[in-house]
Amino acid sequence: MNAAAIQPYALLDDKECEQRIVRAKQALGDRLVILGHHYQRDEVYQHADFTGDSLKLSRQAAGTNAEYIIFCGVHFMAEVADILSRPDQVSILPDMAAGCSMADMADLQHVEKAWQELAEVLDPDQQVTPVTYINSAADLKAFCGEHGGIVCTSTNARHVLDWSFSQRDKVLFFPDQHLGRNTGYTMGIPLEQMVVWDYDKPMGGLTAEAIRQAKIILWKGFCSVHQMFQPEQIDNFKQKYPETLVIAHPESPFEVCQKADFVGSTEFIKKTIADGEPGSRWLVATELNMVNRLHEQHKHEGTHVHFMSPHVCMCSTMFRIDPQHLAWALENLVDGVVVNQVSVPEKTAKLAVTALDRMLEVSP
């Protein structure tokens, strides 16, 4: 990204950006599709043609005739859009600095090192299925594709783990330990058979015996947003409002999910609250922008939607996508210039598709 080129846009207020975004969208017509993740700020979210979670959005974009896919999300999402889209479609991320701290906690170098170290205790290619959360870099999806592994989402994680255990005895789950632990526990796997691999320590900080006894080896990764939710926040809130229903994203800590009435993906949270009784009260453990949006959508029903943490807790990297960057990307497209294209190398994309296809085959 050319910082000098975008500088004039940084001086624009949101209202002017909104007008310029609308004009550029009109000029591009059906050559363009804008995707907006649930965690996006409202000033950007309002311009999306499709809204939802990352995989759903990428599949919707691939089904359009659009030449250009602008993903208002983070980097791994734009990668998935590029992997799943047609060769003639171009995936664009308005701000290349919009990454994912959780995804960054697992990189190919550390995962390959872990695979090699596991080989000192057991044969990972015979005994371990690598599973990567969709919130990960394309080369990790490719790693899974190459080593008989698979991708999962927060919606289908249980189906994916069922499949994984049908292939091999153990699972290496990265990058989010909480999704792996919460899912494994619902399948009846005891906590003591789910160990954490610390990628900064030799052998993940584990003994050979701990590795042999483990069913799931959880990568030491987490979402900085969901990590902030604590079980005490639920207890304190329910002292004041005992009728409250608690709903949590499975990236939240184990203790939070155990206290929740419902646990599920962003789409699940959205649908569950929408289907709830008018006048009900919800305490929600997921990103702030989404919770605020749910509050606004349902307050006319007398439904109360509250954010679990007493502290402001939004996805700071997702927040990097602002109206100014979106206007800049769009007006360049109007001028025939593609900026911030996200392109996954062909070999990586092919192996990543193998892992994604396995996931789609086993998902309900």
Q: pLDDT digits over 4-61, tens only?
A: 678 889 889 999 999 999 999 999 999 999 999 988 999 999 999 999 888 999 999 9
Pick one of 3.10.280, 3.90.550, 2.40.50, 3.40.50 as the CATH number of 103-224.
3.40.50
Higher-pLDDT residue of 104, 318:
104
Q: What is the CB neighbour count within 10 angstroms for residue 261? A: 13
| Residue 170 DSSP one-character state | E
Name residue, tokens 């990097």: 320
174-186 pLDDT per residue, tens: 999 999 999 999 9
Q: What percent of the chain has pLDDT over 90?
A: 88
pTM: predicted TM-score of the whole model, two decimal places = 0.93
Looking at residue 338, what is its pLDDT?
96
**Residues contacting residue 2 through CB under 8 Å, at least 6 positions apart:** 339
Looking at residue 335, what is its pLDDT?
96
Torsion of CA 115, 120, 122, 124, to 10 degrees: 20
Looking at residue 25, what is its pLDDT?
97
- Please compute the mean of the pLDDT values over residues 108-112 and round it to a whole number: 97
Q: What is the CB neighbour count within 10 angstroms for residue 260? A: 24
DSSP-assigned letters across all residues of 45-62: HTT-SEEE-HHHHHHHHH
Q: Is 1 a residue whose pLDDT tops 60?
A: no
Q: What is the CATH T-level fold of the domain 226-307, as seen in this structure?
A: Rossmann fold (3.40.50)
Q: Is 3 a residue whose pLDDT tops 80?
A: no
Q: In the predicted model, what is the mean pLDDT of the chain?
A: 95
Architecture of domain 3-99+317-344: 3-Layer(aba) Sandwich (3.40)
Looking at residue 2, what is its pLDDT?
59
Residue 318: pLDDT band (50, 70, 90) is confident
- CA proximity to 75, closest of 291, 357, 341, 286: 341
Do 276 and 245 meet the contact criterion of CB atoms below 8 Å apart? yes
Helices 138-146 and 108-118, packing angle to 10 deg = 30
Cα–Cα distance for residue pair 296/244, rounded to 1 Å: 18
Cα–Cα distance for residue pair 50/52, rounded to 1 Å: 7
Which ranges in the chain are annotated with CATH 3.40.50.10800? 3-99+317-344, 226-307
284-305 pLDDT per residue, tens: 999 999 999 999 999 999 999 9
Residue 63: pLDDT band (50, 70, 90) is very high
Q: Is 319 a residue whose pLDDT tops 80?
A: no
Question: How buried is residue 166: exposed, middle or buried, by Cβ count under 10 Å (0-12/13-18/19+)?
Answer: exposed
Cα–Cα distance for residue pair 228/214, rounded to 1 Å: 27
Q: Give start and end residues of each alpha helix (H) in the chain.
A: 3-10, 14-28, 42-45, 54-62, 75-84, 101-104, 108-118, 124-127, 138-146, 157-167, 177-186, 208-213, 231-240, 254-259, 266-274, 288-298, 323-334, 346-362
Q: Is 313 a residue whose pLDDT tops 70?
A: no
Cα–Cα distance for residue pair 191/210, rounded to 1 Å: 12
Looking at residue 100, what is its pLDDT?
87
Looking at residue 300, what is its pLDDT?
96
| Residue 135 DSSP one-character state | S
Q: Is 355 a residue whose pLDDT tops 60?
A: yes
232-255 pLDDT per residue, tens: 999 999 999 999 999 999 999 999
Cα–Cα distance for residue pair 45/72, rounded to 1 Å: 8
